[in-house]
Chain A
Amino acid sequence: MRYVVIGNSAAGIGAIEGIRQADPDGRITVISSEPYHTYSRPLISYFLMGKTDGERMRYRPEGFYESNGCETMLGVKAVSVDPGRKTVTLEGGASVEYDKLFVGAGSVPFVPPIEGLETVTNRFTFMTYDDALALKAAITPASRVLIVGAGLIGLKCAEGVAGSVAGITVVDLAPGALSSILDAEGSAIVREHLESRGIEFRLSDSVAKVSGGVATLVSGAEIEFDILVLAVGVRPDTALIRDAGGKCGRGILVDSFMRSSLPDIYAAGDCTESLDVSSGTVKVMALLPNAYRQGEVAGINMAGGSAELTDAIPMNAIGFFGLRVATAGTYEGEAYTDRKNGYKKLFYKDDTLKGFIIIGGIEKCGIYTSLVRERVPLSRINFPLIRENPGLIAFSRSYRDAKLGGAAI
Protein backbone atom coordinates (compact mmCIF):
# COMPACT_ATOMS: atom_id res chain seq x y z
CA MET A 1 0.00 0.00 0.00
CA ARG A 2 1.32 3.43 -0.91
CA TYR A 3 0.14 6.34 1.21
CA VAL A 4 0.80 9.95 0.34
CA VAL A 5 0.30 12.57 3.04
CA ILE A 6 0.18 16.21 1.96
CA GLY A 7 0.83 18.50 4.92
CA ASN A 8 3.26 18.01 7.76
CA SER A 9 1.42 19.65 10.63
CA ALA A 10 -1.16 18.50 13.18
CA ALA A 11 -3.52 16.85 10.68
CA GLY A 12 -0.75 15.22 8.66
CA ILE A 13 0.99 13.89 11.78
CA GLY A 14 -2.36 12.57 13.03
CA ALA A 15 -2.79 10.79 9.69
CA ILE A 16 0.67 9.20 9.90
CA GLU A 17 0.06 8.03 13.46
CA GLY A 18 -3.37 6.77 12.43
CA ILE A 19 -2.02 4.84 9.44
CA ARG A 20 0.63 3.21 11.61
CA GLN A 21 -1.98 2.01 14.10
CA ALA A 22 -3.54 -0.11 11.37
CA ASP A 23 -0.67 -0.74 8.95
CA PRO A 24 2.90 -0.96 10.23
CA ASP A 25 4.41 -1.61 6.82
CA GLY A 26 2.81 0.39 4.01
CA ARG A 27 4.93 3.04 2.35
CA ILE A 28 4.23 6.61 3.54
CA THR A 29 5.45 9.69 1.70
CA VAL A 30 4.99 13.05 3.43
CA ILE A 31 4.94 16.09 1.18
CA SER A 32 5.01 19.55 2.65
CA SER A 33 5.64 23.00 1.28
CA GLU A 34 7.32 24.07 4.50
CA PRO A 35 10.95 22.89 4.64
CA TYR A 36 10.93 21.97 8.33
CA HIS A 37 10.60 19.00 10.62
CA THR A 38 7.00 19.08 11.93
CA TYR A 39 6.60 21.98 14.35
CA SER A 40 3.84 23.31 16.54
CA ARG A 41 2.28 26.19 14.64
CA PRO A 42 0.66 27.86 17.69
CA LEU A 43 4.12 28.18 19.24
CA ILE A 44 5.29 30.84 16.81
CA SER A 45 4.20 33.57 19.23
CA TYR A 46 5.98 31.81 22.11
CA PHE A 47 9.03 31.67 19.88
CA LEU A 48 8.95 35.46 19.51
CA MET A 49 8.67 35.79 23.29
CA GLY A 50 11.68 33.53 23.74
CA LYS A 51 9.60 30.93 25.60
CA THR A 52 10.55 28.21 23.16
CA ASP A 53 13.07 27.70 20.37
CA GLY A 54 13.36 25.89 17.07
CA GLU A 55 14.36 22.68 18.82
CA ARG A 56 11.61 22.59 21.44
CA MET A 57 8.95 23.68 18.95
CA ARG A 58 9.13 20.29 17.27
CA TYR A 59 5.67 18.77 17.37
CA ARG A 60 7.18 15.28 17.36
CA PRO A 61 10.62 14.02 18.40
CA GLU A 62 13.64 14.19 16.15
CA GLY A 63 13.45 10.59 14.88
CA PHE A 64 9.72 10.68 14.17
CA TYR A 65 9.86 10.07 10.41
CA GLU A 66 12.36 7.22 10.70
CA SER A 67 10.52 5.49 13.50
CA ASN A 68 7.28 5.74 11.54
CA GLY A 69 8.88 4.64 8.30
CA CYS A 70 8.11 7.82 6.37
CA GLU A 71 9.87 9.24 3.35
CA THR A 72 9.79 13.01 3.47
CA MET A 73 9.61 15.59 0.73
CA LEU A 74 9.87 18.79 2.76
CA GLY A 75 9.97 22.14 1.03
CA VAL A 76 8.05 20.65 -1.88
CA LYS A 77 4.67 21.96 -2.96
CA ALA A 78 1.97 19.75 -4.42
CA VAL A 79 0.26 21.60 -7.26
CA SER A 80 -2.44 19.21 -8.41
CA VAL A 81 -4.12 15.89 -7.80
CA ASP A 82 -5.40 13.55 -10.51
CA PRO A 83 -7.95 11.31 -8.79
CA GLY A 84 -8.36 9.20 -11.95
CA ARG A 85 -4.69 8.30 -12.41
CA LYS A 86 -4.10 8.53 -8.67
CA THR A 87 -1.16 10.85 -8.87
CA VAL A 88 -0.03 14.04 -7.19
CA THR A 89 1.90 16.50 -9.32
CA LEU A 90 4.61 18.49 -7.60
CA GLU A 91 5.99 21.92 -8.31
CA GLY A 92 8.62 21.36 -10.99
CA GLY A 93 6.54 18.72 -12.72
CA ALA A 94 7.47 15.47 -10.98
CA SER A 95 4.61 13.29 -9.85
CA VAL A 96 3.99 10.81 -7.06
CA GLU A 97 1.58 7.87 -7.21
CA TYR A 98 -0.73 6.95 -4.39
CA ASP A 99 -3.16 4.24 -3.40
CA LYS A 100 -4.58 6.40 -0.60
CA LEU A 101 -4.10 10.15 -0.42
CA PHE A 102 -4.39 12.40 2.61
CA VAL A 103 -4.76 16.17 2.33
CA GLY A 104 -4.06 18.30 5.39
CA ALA A 105 -3.16 21.53 3.65
CA GLY A 106 -4.28 23.84 6.47
CA SER A 107 -5.36 27.37 5.86
CA VAL A 108 -4.14 30.44 4.09
CA PRO A 109 -4.24 33.94 5.53
CA PHE A 110 -6.96 36.16 4.22
CA VAL A 111 -5.50 39.41 2.95
CA PRO A 112 -7.95 42.31 3.20
CA PRO A 113 -8.30 44.80 0.38
CA ILE A 114 -6.43 47.85 1.67
CA GLU A 115 -5.38 50.63 -0.67
CA GLY A 116 -1.61 50.91 -0.92
CA LEU A 117 -0.89 47.57 0.73
CA GLU A 118 1.58 46.57 -1.98
CA THR A 119 3.73 49.61 -1.15
CA VAL A 120 4.40 48.42 2.41
CA THR A 121 7.70 46.54 2.55
CA ASN A 122 7.52 45.57 6.24
CA ARG A 123 4.30 43.67 5.79
CA PHE A 124 3.74 40.26 7.41
CA THR A 125 1.21 37.57 8.03
CA PHE A 126 1.53 35.43 11.15
CA MET A 127 0.92 31.81 10.27
CA THR A 128 4.21 30.02 9.88
CA TYR A 129 7.65 29.61 11.40
CA ASP A 130 9.02 31.51 8.41
CA ASP A 131 6.62 34.37 9.17
CA ALA A 132 7.87 34.42 12.77
CA LEU A 133 11.51 34.39 11.66
CA ALA A 134 10.90 37.24 9.22
CA LEU A 135 9.03 39.29 11.80
CA LYS A 136 11.71 38.67 14.39
CA ALA A 137 14.37 39.87 11.97
CA ALA A 138 12.40 43.01 11.11
CA ILE A 139 11.45 44.31 14.55
CA THR A 140 13.67 46.59 16.61
CA PRO A 141 13.10 48.13 20.06
CA ALA A 142 11.95 51.26 18.24
CA SER A 143 9.37 49.53 16.05
CA ARG A 144 5.77 50.67 16.07
CA VAL A 145 3.73 47.65 15.13
CA LEU A 146 0.27 47.84 13.59
CA ILE A 147 -1.70 44.62 13.75
CA VAL A 148 -4.86 44.33 11.67
CA GLY A 149 -7.09 41.79 13.38
CA ALA A 150 -7.98 41.33 17.06
CA GLY A 151 -8.63 37.61 16.76
CA LEU A 152 -6.57 34.80 18.23
CA ILE A 153 -3.70 35.12 15.77
CA GLY A 154 -3.44 38.92 15.86
CA LEU A 155 -3.50 39.07 19.64
CA LYS A 156 -1.06 36.19 20.03
CA CYS A 157 1.26 38.07 17.69
CA ALA A 158 0.82 41.19 19.84
CA GLU A 159 1.77 39.25 22.95
CA GLY A 160 4.69 37.70 21.09
CA VAL A 161 6.31 41.00 20.12
CA ALA A 162 5.19 43.09 23.12
CA GLY A 163 8.47 42.81 24.98
CA SER A 164 10.59 43.69 21.96
CA VAL A 165 9.00 46.75 20.36
CA ALA A 166 8.11 50.35 21.18
CA GLY A 167 4.39 50.17 20.63
CA ILE A 168 1.55 48.01 19.32
CA THR A 169 -1.80 49.08 17.94
CA VAL A 170 -4.47 46.54 17.06
CA VAL A 171 -7.26 47.50 14.65
CA ASP A 172 -10.38 45.43 14.12
CA LEU A 173 -13.72 45.95 12.50
CA ALA A 174 -15.35 44.00 15.33
CA PRO A 175 -16.32 45.86 18.49
CA GLY A 176 -14.27 43.61 20.77
CA ALA A 177 -11.16 41.52 21.20
CA LEU A 178 -11.54 37.83 20.26
CA SER A 179 -15.10 38.63 19.26
CA SER A 180 -15.59 35.34 17.43
CA ILE A 181 -15.21 33.36 20.64
CA LEU A 182 -16.09 35.78 23.45
CA ASP A 183 -19.17 37.74 24.47
CA ALA A 184 -18.99 41.48 25.10
CA GLU A 185 -18.09 41.16 28.78
CA GLY A 186 -15.38 38.57 28.12
CA SER A 187 -13.98 40.66 25.26
CA ALA A 188 -13.74 43.68 27.52
CA ILE A 189 -11.79 41.72 30.16
CA VAL A 190 -9.28 40.55 27.58
CA ARG A 191 -8.97 43.96 25.97
CA GLU A 192 -8.42 45.71 29.30
CA HIS A 193 -5.81 43.17 30.28
CA LEU A 194 -3.92 43.71 27.04
CA GLU A 195 -4.30 47.47 27.36
CA SER A 196 -2.73 47.27 30.81
CA ARG A 197 0.31 45.84 29.02
CA GLY A 198 0.51 48.83 26.73
CA ILE A 199 -1.30 47.42 23.70
CA GLU A 200 -3.64 49.93 22.08
CA PHE A 201 -6.92 49.02 20.42
CA ARG A 202 -8.87 50.68 17.64
CA LEU A 203 -12.07 48.67 17.50
CA SER A 204 -15.14 49.00 15.26
CA ASP A 205 -12.75 50.52 12.77
CA SER A 206 -10.63 49.31 9.88
CA VAL A 207 -7.70 50.35 7.75
CA ALA A 208 -8.81 52.11 4.58
CA LYS A 209 -5.38 52.84 3.15
CA VAL A 210 -1.71 52.79 3.91
CA SER A 211 0.91 55.11 2.55
CA GLY A 212 4.44 55.99 3.64
CA GLY A 213 4.21 54.39 7.08
CA VAL A 214 0.84 55.90 7.91
CA ALA A 215 -2.39 53.95 8.05
CA THR A 216 -5.61 55.86 7.59
CA LEU A 217 -8.58 54.26 9.26
CA VAL A 218 -12.15 54.41 8.01
CA SER A 219 -12.93 56.68 10.99
CA GLY A 220 -10.32 59.10 9.68
CA ALA A 221 -7.79 58.40 12.42
CA GLU A 222 -4.16 58.05 11.36
CA ILE A 223 -1.67 55.63 12.84
CA GLU A 224 2.06 55.71 12.15
CA PHE A 225 3.74 52.35 11.94
CA ASP A 226 6.98 50.64 10.96
CA ILE A 227 5.71 47.07 10.86
CA LEU A 228 2.34 45.91 9.55
CA VAL A 229 0.92 42.51 10.49
CA LEU A 230 -2.19 41.27 8.68
CA ALA A 231 -4.18 38.88 10.83
CA VAL A 232 -7.77 39.40 9.77
CA GLY A 233 -8.51 35.75 9.40
CA VAL A 234 -7.74 32.54 7.63
CA ARG A 235 -9.56 30.48 5.08
CA PRO A 236 -9.28 26.79 4.34
CA ASP A 237 -6.77 25.88 1.65
CA THR A 238 -9.09 23.81 -0.54
CA ALA A 239 -7.32 24.32 -3.87
CA LEU A 240 -5.96 20.79 -4.43
CA ILE A 241 -9.30 19.10 -3.86
CA ARG A 242 -11.48 21.76 -5.47
CA ASP A 243 -9.38 21.76 -8.63
CA ALA A 244 -9.57 17.96 -8.75
CA GLY A 245 -13.36 18.17 -8.70
CA GLY A 246 -13.91 17.38 -5.02
CA LYS A 247 -16.84 18.91 -3.18
CA CYS A 248 -16.05 21.96 -1.10
CA GLY A 249 -18.06 24.46 0.85
CA ARG A 250 -15.92 26.96 2.67
CA GLY A 251 -13.67 24.00 3.42
CA ILE A 252 -13.23 20.57 1.88
CA LEU A 253 -16.34 18.53 2.67
CA VAL A 254 -15.59 15.41 4.67
CA ASP A 255 -17.75 12.82 6.40
CA SER A 256 -17.22 11.48 9.90
CA PHE A 257 -14.66 9.01 8.49
CA MET A 258 -12.75 11.96 7.00
CA ARG A 259 -13.38 10.85 3.43
CA SER A 260 -13.59 13.60 0.85
CA SER A 261 -16.03 13.24 -2.05
CA LEU A 262 -13.20 11.83 -4.22
CA PRO A 263 -12.36 8.12 -4.08
CA ASP A 264 -9.41 7.15 -1.84
CA ILE A 265 -8.80 10.77 -0.88
CA TYR A 266 -9.14 11.80 2.74
CA ALA A 267 -8.80 15.24 4.26
CA ALA A 268 -8.60 16.71 7.75
CA GLY A 269 -7.75 19.78 9.75
CA ASP A 270 -8.01 23.46 8.92
CA CYS A 271 -8.64 22.82 5.21
CA THR A 272 -11.94 21.02 5.93
CA GLU A 273 -15.38 21.78 7.23
CA SER A 274 -17.25 19.31 9.38
CA LEU A 275 -19.98 18.84 11.94
CA ASP A 276 -19.80 20.76 15.20
CA VAL A 277 -21.96 18.58 17.46
CA SER A 278 -22.52 21.39 19.94
CA SER A 279 -24.45 23.44 17.39
CA GLY A 280 -25.38 20.71 14.93
CA THR A 281 -23.96 22.76 12.08
CA VAL A 282 -21.19 22.13 9.59
CA LYS A 283 -18.35 24.59 9.96
CA VAL A 284 -14.64 25.17 9.69
CA MET A 285 -13.14 24.47 13.12
CA ALA A 286 -9.61 25.57 12.51
CA LEU A 287 -8.13 24.35 15.77
CA LEU A 288 -5.28 22.04 16.45
CA PRO A 289 -7.00 19.37 18.59
CA ASN A 290 -9.57 18.85 15.86
CA ALA A 291 -6.90 18.75 13.17
CA TYR A 292 -4.99 16.01 14.97
CA ARG A 293 -8.03 13.91 15.85
CA GLN A 294 -9.48 14.19 12.35
CA GLY A 295 -6.13 13.31 10.84
CA GLU A 296 -5.80 10.26 13.04
CA VAL A 297 -9.29 9.04 12.10
CA ALA A 298 -8.46 9.54 8.42
CA GLY A 299 -5.21 7.61 8.77
CA ILE A 300 -6.82 4.65 10.51
CA ASN A 301 -9.49 4.43 7.80
CA MET A 302 -6.96 4.84 4.98
CA ALA A 303 -5.08 1.85 6.35
CA GLY A 304 -8.15 -0.36 6.47
CA GLY A 305 -8.99 0.12 10.13
CA SER A 306 -12.23 1.64 11.28
CA ALA A 307 -12.60 4.92 13.12
CA GLU A 308 -15.13 7.70 13.18
CA LEU A 309 -15.14 11.18 14.66
CA THR A 310 -18.55 12.07 16.01
CA ASP A 311 -17.84 14.50 18.81
CA ALA A 312 -15.97 17.45 17.34
CA ILE A 313 -16.63 20.85 18.88
CA PRO A 314 -14.83 24.16 18.76
CA MET A 315 -12.63 24.51 21.84
CA ASN A 316 -10.00 27.07 22.78
CA ALA A 317 -7.46 27.57 25.52
CA ILE A 318 -5.61 30.83 25.21
CA GLY A 319 -3.43 32.84 27.52
CA PHE A 320 -2.32 36.45 27.31
CA PHE A 321 0.29 37.69 29.78
CA GLY A 322 -0.91 35.21 32.39
CA LEU A 323 -4.65 35.73 31.84
CA ARG A 324 -6.23 32.39 31.01
CA VAL A 325 -9.18 32.07 28.68
CA ALA A 326 -11.05 28.84 27.95
CA THR A 327 -14.03 28.44 25.65
CA ALA A 328 -15.92 25.57 24.09
CA GLY A 329 -19.03 24.79 22.09
CA THR A 330 -21.68 27.30 21.05
CA TYR A 331 -23.29 30.07 22.99
CA GLU A 332 -26.98 29.20 22.72
CA GLY A 333 -29.80 29.07 25.22
CA GLU A 334 -29.90 30.28 28.78
CA ALA A 335 -26.79 31.54 30.47
CA TYR A 336 -25.44 31.01 33.96
CA THR A 337 -22.95 33.71 34.92
CA ASP A 338 -20.53 33.63 37.82
CA ARG A 339 -17.97 36.31 38.61
CA LYS A 340 -16.55 34.87 41.85
CA ASN A 341 -13.33 33.52 40.39
CA GLY A 342 -12.80 35.52 37.22
CA TYR A 343 -15.61 35.35 34.69
CA LYS A 344 -17.60 32.26 33.87
CA LYS A 345 -20.57 31.89 31.60
CA LEU A 346 -22.22 28.56 30.89
CA PHE A 347 -24.79 28.23 28.11
CA TYR A 348 -27.43 25.52 28.33
CA LYS A 349 -30.45 24.50 26.32
CA ASP A 350 -32.58 21.37 25.81
CA ASP A 351 -31.14 19.68 28.90
CA THR A 352 -27.56 19.95 27.61
CA LEU A 353 -24.62 22.23 28.18
CA LYS A 354 -24.02 23.94 24.83
CA GLY A 355 -20.87 25.86 25.56
CA PHE A 356 -18.94 28.04 27.96
CA ILE A 357 -16.63 30.99 28.35
CA ILE A 358 -14.27 31.06 31.30
CA ILE A 359 -11.68 33.72 32.01
CA GLY A 360 -9.43 33.30 35.01
CA GLY A 361 -10.31 30.18 37.00
CA ILE A 362 -10.12 27.51 34.32
CA GLU A 363 -9.15 24.62 36.65
CA LYS A 364 -11.06 21.44 35.83
CA CYS A 365 -13.06 23.17 33.07
CA GLY A 366 -12.46 20.09 30.90
CA ILE A 367 -15.32 18.54 32.84
CA TYR A 368 -17.60 21.17 31.29
CA THR A 369 -16.07 20.45 27.89
CA SER A 370 -16.97 16.78 28.32
CA LEU A 371 -20.58 17.73 29.09
CA VAL A 372 -20.70 19.70 25.84
CA ARG A 373 -18.86 17.12 23.76
CA GLU A 374 -20.81 14.11 25.05
CA ARG A 375 -24.11 15.99 25.26
CA VAL A 376 -24.68 14.66 28.77
CA PRO A 377 -28.33 15.21 29.84
CA LEU A 378 -28.14 17.81 32.61
CA SER A 379 -31.10 16.18 34.34
CA ARG A 380 -28.86 13.17 34.97
CA ILE A 381 -26.25 15.12 36.89
CA ASN A 382 -26.36 17.66 39.69
CA PHE A 383 -26.31 20.75 37.50
CA PRO A 384 -26.80 23.34 40.28
CA LEU A 385 -23.68 21.89 41.89
CA ILE A 386 -21.51 21.51 38.81
CA ARG A 387 -22.30 24.92 37.40
CA GLU A 388 -20.68 26.42 40.49
CA ASN A 389 -17.63 24.16 40.45
CA PRO A 390 -16.72 21.55 37.89
CA GLY A 391 -16.31 18.20 39.63
CA LEU A 392 -17.08 14.53 39.24
CA ILE A 393 -19.10 14.70 42.43
CA ALA A 394 -21.99 16.06 40.39
CA PHE A 395 -22.14 12.84 38.36
CA SER A 396 -23.91 9.61 39.30
CA ARG A 397 -22.21 7.05 41.44
CA SER A 398 -22.32 4.57 38.58
CA TYR A 399 -20.49 7.02 36.28
CA ARG A 400 -17.73 7.41 38.84
CA ASP A 401 -17.55 3.68 39.52
CA ALA A 402 -16.97 3.20 35.81
CA LYS A 403 -14.55 6.06 35.24
CA LEU A 404 -12.60 6.02 38.49
CA GLY A 405 -13.23 2.53 39.83
CA GLY A 406 -12.84 0.71 36.54
CA ALA A 407 -16.23 -0.99 36.92
CA ALA A 408 -17.88 -2.35 33.80
CA ILE A 409 -20.58 0.01 32.57
Chain B
Amino acid sequence: MKRVYVNEQWCLACHLCEYYCAFANQDETDMSTALKGVPIRPNIRVEQLGDVCFAVNCRHCDEPLCVKGCLTGALSVRDGVISIDRDKCVGCCTCVVSCPYGAVTPTEDGVVQKCELCVNTRDGEPLCVKGCPNAAIVWESVVR
Protein backbone atom coordinates (compact mmCIF):
# COMPACT_ATOMS: atom_id res chain seq x y z
CA MET B 1 0.00 0.00 0.00
CA LYS B 2 1.16 3.51 -0.77
CA ARG B 3 1.97 5.70 2.18
CA VAL B 4 2.98 9.28 2.76
CA TYR B 5 6.54 9.43 4.08
CA VAL B 6 8.37 12.46 5.36
CA ASN B 7 12.01 13.05 4.49
CA GLU B 8 12.97 15.33 7.30
CA GLN B 9 16.31 16.29 5.76
CA TRP B 10 14.58 17.89 2.78
CA CYS B 11 11.94 19.91 4.61
CA LEU B 12 12.28 23.67 4.08
CA ALA B 13 9.57 24.66 6.56
CA CYS B 14 7.82 26.47 3.70
CA HIS B 15 4.42 25.27 4.98
CA LEU B 16 3.18 24.82 1.40
CA CYS B 17 1.93 21.34 2.34
CA GLU B 18 -0.43 22.94 4.84
CA TYR B 19 -1.83 25.24 2.16
CA TYR B 20 -2.17 22.46 -0.40
CA CYS B 21 -3.93 20.34 2.19
CA ALA B 22 -6.37 23.10 3.03
CA PHE B 23 -6.98 23.65 -0.70
CA ALA B 24 -7.48 19.95 -1.42
CA ASN B 25 -10.32 19.85 1.04
CA GLN B 26 -12.26 22.74 -0.51
CA ASP B 27 -14.69 23.01 -3.40
CA GLU B 28 -13.07 26.11 -4.93
CA THR B 29 -10.85 25.23 -7.91
CA ASP B 30 -8.48 28.20 -7.78
CA MET B 31 -5.99 27.96 -4.95
CA SER B 32 -5.50 31.66 -4.33
CA THR B 33 -9.23 32.42 -4.31
CA ALA B 34 -9.81 29.42 -2.07
CA LEU B 35 -7.31 30.41 0.57
CA LYS B 36 -7.20 34.20 0.42
CA GLY B 37 -7.89 35.65 3.81
CA VAL B 38 -9.31 32.44 5.30
CA PRO B 39 -7.75 30.75 8.31
CA ILE B 40 -6.62 27.31 7.21
CA ARG B 41 -7.17 24.09 9.11
CA PRO B 42 -4.82 21.64 7.43
CA ASN B 43 -4.53 17.96 8.24
CA ILE B 44 -0.77 18.10 7.80
CA ARG B 45 1.25 20.38 10.03
CA VAL B 46 4.84 21.48 10.07
CA GLU B 47 6.67 21.29 13.36
CA GLN B 48 9.69 23.52 13.64
CA LEU B 49 12.31 24.48 16.19
CA GLY B 50 15.51 26.18 15.11
CA ASP B 51 16.94 24.23 12.18
CA VAL B 52 14.74 21.18 12.71
CA CYS B 53 11.51 21.04 10.74
CA PHE B 54 9.24 18.36 9.30
CA ALA B 55 5.62 17.78 8.40
CA VAL B 56 3.29 15.46 10.34
CA ASN B 57 0.05 13.91 9.17
CA CYS B 58 -1.87 10.72 9.91
CA ARG B 59 0.36 7.66 9.63
CA HIS B 60 -2.57 5.39 8.76
CA CYS B 61 -1.15 2.98 11.34
CA ASP B 62 -1.41 -0.78 11.03
CA GLU B 63 -2.54 -0.86 14.67
CA PRO B 64 -4.69 2.27 14.73
CA LEU B 65 -5.45 3.23 18.31
CA CYS B 66 -7.82 5.95 17.07
CA VAL B 67 -9.97 3.41 15.21
CA LYS B 68 -9.89 0.81 17.96
CA GLY B 69 -10.79 3.38 20.59
CA CYS B 70 -13.42 5.25 18.57
CA LEU B 71 -16.53 5.40 20.72
CA THR B 72 -18.96 5.62 17.85
CA GLY B 73 -17.55 3.57 14.99
CA ALA B 74 -17.05 6.77 12.97
CA LEU B 75 -13.40 5.95 12.34
CA SER B 76 -12.66 2.88 10.26
CA VAL B 77 -9.99 1.52 7.95
CA ARG B 78 -11.08 1.50 4.31
CA ASP B 79 -8.56 0.05 1.88
CA GLY B 80 -5.76 0.94 4.25
CA VAL B 81 -6.93 4.52 4.72
CA ILE B 82 -8.18 5.59 8.12
CA SER B 83 -11.42 7.32 7.24
CA ILE B 84 -13.94 9.28 9.20
CA ASP B 85 -17.71 9.15 8.89
CA ARG B 86 -18.66 12.72 9.73
CA ASP B 87 -22.28 11.74 10.16
CA LYS B 88 -21.43 9.42 13.01
CA CYS B 89 -18.68 11.40 14.74
CA VAL B 90 -19.88 13.40 17.74
CA GLY B 91 -16.52 15.02 18.46
CA CYS B 92 -15.86 13.15 21.71
CA CYS B 93 -12.12 13.38 20.95
CA THR B 94 -11.18 9.92 22.23
CA CYS B 95 -9.12 9.65 19.01
CA VAL B 96 -7.33 12.91 19.83
CA VAL B 97 -6.30 11.44 23.19
CA SER B 98 -5.30 8.17 21.50
CA CYS B 99 -3.18 9.30 18.55
CA PRO B 100 0.57 9.07 19.27
CA TYR B 101 1.32 11.63 16.54
CA GLY B 102 -1.20 14.31 17.36
CA ALA B 103 -2.64 13.78 13.90
CA VAL B 104 -6.36 13.93 14.71
CA THR B 105 -7.60 17.43 15.44
CA PRO B 106 -10.66 18.64 17.32
CA THR B 107 -12.69 21.29 15.53
CA GLU B 108 -15.44 23.70 16.43
CA ASP B 109 -17.84 21.87 14.09
CA GLY B 110 -18.43 19.05 16.54
CA VAL B 111 -16.50 16.46 14.52
CA VAL B 112 -12.79 15.73 14.43
CA GLN B 113 -10.67 16.09 11.32
CA LYS B 114 -7.75 14.11 9.95
CA CYS B 115 -5.85 13.25 6.79
CA GLU B 116 -7.67 10.79 4.53
CA LEU B 117 -4.92 10.76 1.89
CA CYS B 118 -7.12 12.88 -0.36
CA VAL B 119 -9.15 9.83 -1.39
CA ASN B 120 -12.34 11.89 -1.42
CA THR B 121 -10.92 15.02 -3.02
CA ARG B 122 -10.81 16.24 -6.63
CA ASP B 123 -7.28 14.96 -7.09
CA GLY B 124 -7.76 11.64 -5.40
CA GLU B 125 -4.08 11.69 -4.46
CA PRO B 126 -2.32 13.48 -1.59
CA LEU B 127 -2.00 17.10 -2.65
CA CYS B 128 0.56 17.85 0.06
CA VAL B 129 2.92 15.53 -1.81
CA LYS B 130 2.26 17.17 -5.18
CA GLY B 131 2.74 20.60 -3.70
CA CYS B 132 5.95 19.88 -1.83
CA PRO B 133 8.74 21.69 -3.74
CA ASN B 134 11.59 19.64 -2.31
CA ALA B 135 10.39 16.03 -2.16
CA ALA B 136 10.29 16.25 1.61
CA ILE B 137 6.89 14.54 1.49
CA VAL B 138 6.53 11.56 -0.80
CA TRP B 139 3.84 9.00 -1.56
CA GLU B 140 5.39 5.61 -2.04
CA SER B 141 4.52 1.98 -1.79
CA VAL B 142 8.06 0.87 -1.07
CA VAL B 143 8.81 -0.77 2.21
CA ARG B 144 11.68 1.30 3.43
Contacts and interface: CB of A to CB of B under 8 A. Distances in A.
Highest count of chain B CB atoms <10 Å: which of A362, A366, A367: A366
Secondary structure call for the A interface: mixed
Interface in B77-112: 87-88, 90-102, 104-106, 110
Interface residues of A, number: 49
A326 interface: yes
Contacts of A404: 5-6, 8, 54, 56, 59, 101
Interface residues of B, number: 39
B72 interface: yes
Contact of A289 (B8, B98, B104): B98
Interface in A278-327: 288-289, 292-293, 296, 315-319, 324, 326
Contacts of A405: 5-8, 144
A175 interface: no
Interface string A70-93: 000000000000000000000000
A393 B97 contact: no
A339 interface: no
Interface stretch (A56-64, A136-144, A176-184, A256-264): A56-64
A392 B110 contact: no
Interface string A87-112: 00000000000000000000000000
A390 B102 CA distance: 8
Nearest to A322: B108
Contacts of A43: 71-72, 90
Given A317-B93, A363-B106, A366-B99, A392 B144 contact: no
Interface string B52-76: 1010100100000100110111000
B138 to A, nearest CB: 9
Interface string B11-25: 000000000000000
B48 interface: yes
18 contacts: A52-B90, A56-B72, A59-B73, A289-B68, A289-B98, A317-B94, A318-B92, A326-B97, A364-B102, A366-B102, A366-B104, A369-B98, A369-B100, A370-B100, A385-B49, A391-B47, A393-B47, A406-B5
Interface of A: 14, 40, 42-43, 46, 51-52, 56-61, 288-289, 292-293, 296, 315-319, 324, 326, 328, 362-367, 369-370, 374, 385, 390-393, 397, 400-401, 403-408
Which 6 residue pairs spanning A and B have beta carbons closest together? Answer: A364-B102, A289-B69, A370-B100, A366-B99, A406-B144, A404-B6
